Structure 1
């Protein structure tokens, strides 16, 4: 319908132009005299110029666009340069040049406008720049450039849209941070190590007296018979550094903070020397198995640049479905922007397996925790689940502050 009205508008303008030319000529012929012919002769240059614009093809313009970087971080400045070249130097009184921005870039602050009116006249080469400040994270596509010109009186208007697709990716902004593994505390005693201690049941190094919590399969029946007391096998203790991150991709006001924090955590864990993986479930499911090295960071970082909060499943369901696919020796960190009852109930069930669970709750600057979230945090702490609130801040150099 919109295209129909635009076409009708163009036809109406053309008909109006022809009627105006014919009317002034007929008036001069039949009325005669100085005034009538003066009106016709005065209008004639405008009519001739409008005719030139009517027959001038905007396809004569060759259009190119460049942007100042190949890769961006969220908050960077995008500078686009549009260059127009033409072979026929028809004088153009004005030329409107507009970069057709996608919806996700429309609300960026434009220190140099992406829609400009120029007065090129006989120029054969025209160059303009526009600037978008604080581009948002994600995958963006610039689709084309719109050109509009016309005559002095607005009777003739010509428009052309040049399709010129250009894709670019904006990665999440993150700050360097230091990763430190936290102590594990259980109901029966505690371990003061900063690394999780795991029993390797394939390596028996001795026997000891039975202690509450030992598994039935650990009992050494021969030693029990010799000593007339229940004895269990002593296994070699191994230290696990591996960390599996779970990111909540449901709708949340602080989703972007969660993405930035996930990137920072991934970098920090790898720098610490540990292996790291990522579980990301939305409309698509992406799982990065435990690995180390720059290649692992590059893969996760690329994924974090593209993800959107489009999960149709509750985060608690994602955790329950995915956590059983990994070794229980792994440290599980759940990064989310909100706490709800279903998630807390799921974590309470998992805590009975003596897994190392951490919840990192991301909040935007100035956003306070609700009373409900504070009560949920108390419940998790009673279950010896580490929970911390993370506030990303963006001064001159971004930092991530943590509040346990």
Structure 2
């Protein structure tokens, strides 16, 4: 009897090598995402891993270890267990913490199981590599009051920027919108298609806007400050795309990147993809950056600087831009947490002093410490004396 028991146990333990765990197959599903797997920073992702194990060896449970790797090398491990059903199938569901902006990829998924005595461990690997893009967090900006007022003063005295004047040059054909005049109807296109079509005219060109994203490493005290700066830039480009504004980007870190100001949707998508992977790795001053790119900047453009820097250095930059016949604007991003020990009143006064100093010189300026405050600031809900 003892010989038979030991023989059966030995056969059971040795047969674990043919348990099928090494030939396991699986799939990974990402919830609420399409084929491109895109989401914004700060959102969590629900992931489901389904496993199918071939063979007949009894598997009491299975451990699954999944890894999510960020482009900069950060690695997050997720572990969980499941009990296969009688068809030797199982599914593990887990949620990630709020993800940072950046490019991610899923590494190899490991499957582990043991015999009922815990003597031997058997491993398998699932090749479920998949890429994931986490875009910067953005907010919807309904109106940029001072920006539109500036454009009215420059060349729009009788119209608003939202519906800037059209030329007499026909740019194409569009669908008929209720209220279009008879003179706008494109009769040939209407006759060919059988549906009402209207003429699309080219619009007057607006002054170009360049956004400078300060990526100087020593300027940012915390990672959250730089993430706020990137989110502000992404929100402005989202606003520009919704208003057909010609926006460009000057992004300087270890490498120099300049996008000319254009109005196409593809242009805005390329800029947004660039903002996904940027890091605060620059070391040069803003004055050096502007002097190197002076020839690329269009004359008379609206120049927006997103930076946590202030004081004499930033005032020199604003003065230099004005000397180049540009309209400078400083969006001052900063985090209040390092100054939390100071009295709130004194802290607020110190913040508004810099904005007052900018506006006393005739420049536009805003201080942003939370992304949710940006629509109200640009919309004119909060004003500085």
Q: What pairs up with 1:220-231 in 2 under 5 angstroms?
A: none
Aligned to 1:266: 237
Aligned to 2:19: 56
Aligned to 2:166: none
Displacement of 1:362 after TM fit? 1.9
Is the contact made by 2:331 and 2:367 (CA closer than 8 Å) also made in structure 1? yes
Is the contact made by 2:24 and 2:53 (CA closer than 8 Å) also made in structure 1? yes
Aligned to 2:322: 351
Displacement of 1:41 after TM fit? 6.6
Displacement of 1:138 after TM fit? 1.2
Q: Report the 3-state secondary structure (helix = DSSP H, G, I; strand = E; otherwise coil) of the residue aligned with 2:96.
A: strand
In 1: Cα distance, 2:74 partner to 2:60 partner = 28
Deviation sequence 1:37-72 (CA, Å, 0-9, x none): 86x776665544322223435322012212121221
Q: Greater relative contact order (Cα 8 A, min sep 6): structure 1 or 2?
A: 2
Distance change >3 Å, CA 196–CA 294, structure 1 → 2: same
Q: Report the 3-state secondary structure (helix = DSSP H, G, I; strand = E; otherwise coil) of the residue aligned with 2:216.
A: coil
Q: Report whether the alignment pairs 1:334 with 2:292.
A: no
Is the contact made by 1:340 and 1:376 (CA closer than 8 Å) also made in structure 2? yes
Distance change >3 Å, CA 100–CA 270, structure 1 → 2: closer
Q: Report whether the alignment pairs 1:390 with 2:348.
A: no
Q: When the two structures are superposed, what TM-score results if normalisation uses the length of structure 2?
A: 0.69
Give the unaligned 5+ runs of structure 2: 157-203, 340-346
Distance change >3 Å, CA 277–CA 349, structure 1 → 2: closer
Q: Report the 3-state secondary structure (helix = DSSP H, G, I; strand = E; otherwise coil) of the residue aligned with 1:325.
A: coil
Is the contact made by 2:208 and 2:298 (CA closer than 8 Å) also made in structure 1? no
Aligned to 2:38: 71
Distance change >3 Å, CA 286–CA 195, structure 1 → 2: farther
Aligned to 1:144: 108
In 2: Cα distance, 1:72 partner to 1:193 partner = 34
Displacement of 1:379 after TM fit? 4.9
Q: Report the 3-state secondary structure (helix = DSSP H, G, I; strand = E; otherwise coil) of the residue aligned with 2:130.
A: strand
Displacement of 1:80 after TM fit? 1.5
Displacement of 1:96 after TM fit? 0.5
Displacement of 1:385 after TM fit? 2.4
Q: Report whether the alignment pairs 1:244 with 2:210.
A: yes
Q: Report the 3-state secondary structure (helix = DSSP H, G, I; strand = E; otherwise coil) of the residue aligned with 1:98.
A: strand
In 1: Cα distance, 2:6 partner to 2:324 partner = 90
Displacement of 1:193 after TM fit? 6.7
Aligned to 1:255: 226
Comparing 286-295 with 305-314, which one deviates more in the overlay? 305-314
Q: When the two structures are superposed, what TM-score results if normalisation uses the length of structure 1?
A: 0.66
In 2: Cα distance, 1:349 partner to 1:96 partner = 61
Is the contact made by 2:351 and 2:367 (CA closer than 8 Å) also made in structure 1? no
Q: Report the 3-state secondary structure (helix = DSSP H, G, I; strand = E; otherwise coil) of the residue aligned with 1:87.
A: coil
Give the unaligned 5+ runs of structure 1: 1-36, 185-191, 199-237
Distance change >3 Å, CA 317–CA 273, structure 1 → 2: same
Displacement of 1:245 after TM fit? 0.7
Displacement of 1:250 after TM fit? 2.8
In 1: Cα distance, 2:281 partner to 2:296 partner = 23
Is the contact made by 1:89 and 1:122 (CA closer than 8 Å) also made in structure 2? no
Is the contact made by 2:105 and 2:129 (CA closer than 8 Å) also made in structure 1? yes
In 2: Cα distance, 1:157 partner to 1:82 partner = 21
Distance change >3 Å, CA 106–CA 310, structure 1 → 2: closer
Aligned to 1:128: 92
Of 329, 332, 335, which aligns to 1:361? 332
Of 109, 133, 136, which aligns to 1:172? 136
Q: Report whether the alignment pairs 1:276 with 2:243.
A: no
In 1: Cα distance, 2:335 partner to 2:69 partner = 26
Q: Report the 3-state secondary structure (helix = DSSP H, G, I; strand = E; otherwise coil) of the residue aligned with 1:92.
A: coil
Identify the structure with the greater strand proportion.
Answer: 1
In 1: Cα distance, 2:374 partner to 2:7 partner = 67
Aligned to 2:56: 89
Comparing 116-125 with 252-261, which one deviates more in the overlay? 116-125
